[in-house]
Amino acid sequence: MSITKTSSIPRQDRMKFPTTINPTSLPQWRVLNEHARSLQSVHLRDLFADNPRRAQQFSADAAGIFVDYSKNRITAETMQHLFALVDACALRPAIDAMFAGVPINHTENRPVLHVALRAPRDADIRVDGRNVVPAVHDVLDRMGACADRIRAGNWDGYSGRPIRNIVNIGIGGSDLGPVMATEALKPFAKPGLRVRFVSNIDGAHLQETLRDLDAAETLFIVASKTFTTQETMTNAQSARAWCLAKLKDESAVARHFAAVSTNIDAATEFGIDPDNVFGFWDWVGGRYSLCSAIGLPLMIAVGPDHFRAMLAGFHAMDIHFRDTPWTDNLPVILALLGIWHGNFMGYDTHAVLPYSQCLARFPAYLQQADMESNGKSVDRSGHAVDIMTGPIVWGEPGTNGQHAFFQLLHQGTRIVPADFIAVCRAAEPMGRHQDMLAANCFAQTQALAFGRSAADVETEGTPADLVPYKTFSGNRPTNTLVLDALTPRTLGALIALYEHKIFVQGIIWNIYSFDQWGVELGKKLAHRILEDLTRKDDGMSGDHDSSTAALIRRYRTHTSG
């Protein structure tokens, strides 16, 4: 099935999406509050004991991902109330509006069309009356040609040696997605081709990345949606200087630099050959841009076929999200469980725990996707929101986390809802490693749900004074996501699952999920502080508070001379 233009929204109504609905004013919100109170003293042990079909009742699967959400403190009634809430919050028209290219990123007056990046060639998705899908596939084809050329050893550097090292320079959405996915799909990567990422303005990042690389065999990809981001532009200039110092000819830049940006003029001004500039569009948010040309380093690593398989996985989840009734709709279910935990149970963080070393960077990727999208406190009417919005998202891969922070998950005073992500078939099998990994994953969710009663601990002959310490309260909520295998396709579906979950939550919270004004102030202040850090005299050009002024003076004292 392909995405086609959704025509159900009359043009004159398009600016109105998503409509503004204060969720707390809805009767469904009040009902959920009352219902949550009635479940306060209910334990998962009893919910499981009372219903032998609980696991089947609260699980669903799509696009190669199975989700067991039975280990949450919910009942069938809870889900009914949550589905009623999402209807009352007008999710259906909001989904239609997004897929139809309505400018739902209201504060930037832009459509939100990452779904168009993975739509098949014959799809028709319009922005200002023009189908954007052909342009998407043009860029994908150009990326494919570039990736094939490098992978075949046919992209020669300035001195005639083939490119063997790719260094992507970008930050935030122009880094985290490609880093995460390149790590996740390492077993699919071409051996001998080194793909590295530099993001931090800390010079150590660039220097350590380049230390063992030969400039004659290195291609830099400068990835920046705006091509103005301070970190990326500074790193790109330093990389250019490093390259020229080694290759000693200005014209070498054309062979050793490519760019990915919506700002084609700025990229060519930097000196990058227009043939090596890959564009995308302002209707792609930075944190939703992995499927655009921002994915170029990944495509070079794993090849165009695997990249396209990943896009197909994204698309499968897009279609599932758009067309599946809420009761079986994975992004909607996960979003509603997050609302239940955050707004009705009062849990304020959310852990993402992949039992896969390849997914080690997935929690960091999700931090940007979720926290930059839903870390908002003004609603779509311009008023302060009076409920908790985006959770603090964090996590580390299992089993490492078990030996670090899991103590708090099991016996701490805070309840931390968690997504455990398990993989059935290892991409790189080795002895019993995969079985042990999965066993640990399932054991943790079991322990968190059911705990260990004092009576059980006593029967082990534990000394009475130690019984309280060895008791586990349990009743701690988790979802278990199971991938048949971590492949390009299932990775795409997994990422899209979370993207759409974030969208649904933003709709319910009545906030704008696709802008990020909150990152601007710090950037501006850093410019002013930078000026004062490097002043030769004792003055200050900026009007700083006393703490910041003292920090600037301290820095100056320790850097002068």
- State how far the alpha carbon of 37 is from the alpha carbons of 86, 194, 245, in Å: 20, 55, 67
Which of 369, 372, 422, 377 lies closest to 397 in space, CA to CA?
422
Q: Quick one: 72 or 261, whose CB is closer to ligand F6P?
A: 261
Catalytic residue among 208, 523, 527, 531: 523
523 counts as catalytic: yes
Min CB(350)–ligand F6P separation in Å: 20
Helix axes 546-559, 520-533, angle to 10 degrees: 50
250 counts as catalytic: no
Catalytic residue among 403, 524, 536, 558: 403
Contact, 71 vs 479, CB < 8 A? yes
Can you tell me the distance from the alpha carbon of 42 to that of 36, in angstroms, rounded to the nearest whole number? 10
Contact, 44 vs 475, CB < 8 A? yes
Can you tell me the distance from the alpha carbon of 558 to that of 274, in angstroms, rounded to the nearest whole number? 44
Min CB(537)–ligand F6P separation in Å: 32
Contact, 118 vs 143, CB < 8 A? no
Min CB(369)–ligand F6P separation in Å: 10
Beta-carbon contacts of 128 under 8 Å, excluding residues fewer than 6 positions away, are: none
Can you tell me the distance from the alpha carbon of 166 to that of 159, in angstroms, rounded to the nearest whole number? 17
Alpha carbon 174 to chain centroid, angstroms: 12
Q: Quick one: 392 or 517, whose CB is closer to ligand F6P?
A: 517
Q: Quick one: 69 or 227, whose CB is closer to ligand F6P?
A: 227
Min CB(245)–ligand F6P separation in Å: 25
177, two tokens? 């997605």
Can you tell me the distance from the alpha carbon of 533 to that of 472, in angstroms, rounded to the nearest whole number? 52
SS3 106: helix
Can you tell me the distance from the alpha carbon of 153 to that of 54, in angstroms, rounded to the nearest whole number? 55
Q: Quick one: 199 or 209, whose CB is closer to ligand F6P?
A: 199
343, two tokens? 């707004």
Min CB(264)–ligand F6P separation in Å: 13
Which of 271, 159, 260, 259 lies closest to 217 in space, CA to CA?
159
Catalytic residue among 372, 396, 500, 501: 372
Q: Quick one: 487 or 516, whose CB is closer to ligand F6P?
A: 516
Reported as type and span, the H/E element at residue 455 is helix 454-459
Which of 68, 490, 173 lies closest to 317 in space, CA to CA?
490
Q: Quick one: 199 or 445, whose CB is closer to ligand F6P?
A: 199
Give the 3-state DSSP-derived string for 258-296, with helices as H, strands as E and coil as C: EEEECCHHHHHHCCCCHHHEEECCCCCCHHHCCCCHHHH
Q: Quick one: 272 or 351, whose CB is closer to ligand F6P?
A: 272
Residues lying near ligand F6P in the complex (CB under 6 A): 171-174, 224-226, 229, 232, 286-287, 372, 516, 519
Q: Quick one: 76 or 519, whose CB is closer to ligand F6P?
A: 519
Which of 30, 114, 13 lies closest to 343 in space, CA to CA?
30
Q: Quick one: 171 or 206, whose CB is closer to ligand F6P?
A: 171
Min CB(101)–ligand F6P separation in Å: 21
Min CB(168)–ligand F6P separation in Å: 12
Min CB(516)–ligand F6P separation in Å: 5
Can you tell me the distance from the alpha carbon of 385 to that of 155, in angstroms, rounded to the nearest whole number? 53
Q: Quick one: 339 or 369, whose CB is closer to ligand F6P?
A: 369
Min CB(285)–ligand F6P separation in Å: 7
Give the 3-state DSSP-derived string for 163-195, with helices as H, strands as E and coil as C: CCEEEEECCHHHCHHHHHHHHHCHHHCCCCCEE
Min CB(225)–ligand F6P separation in Å: 4
Buried b (16+ CB within 10 A) or exposed e, 244-278: bebbeeeebbebbbbbbbbbeebbbebebeeebbb
The set of catalytic residues is 372, 403, 523
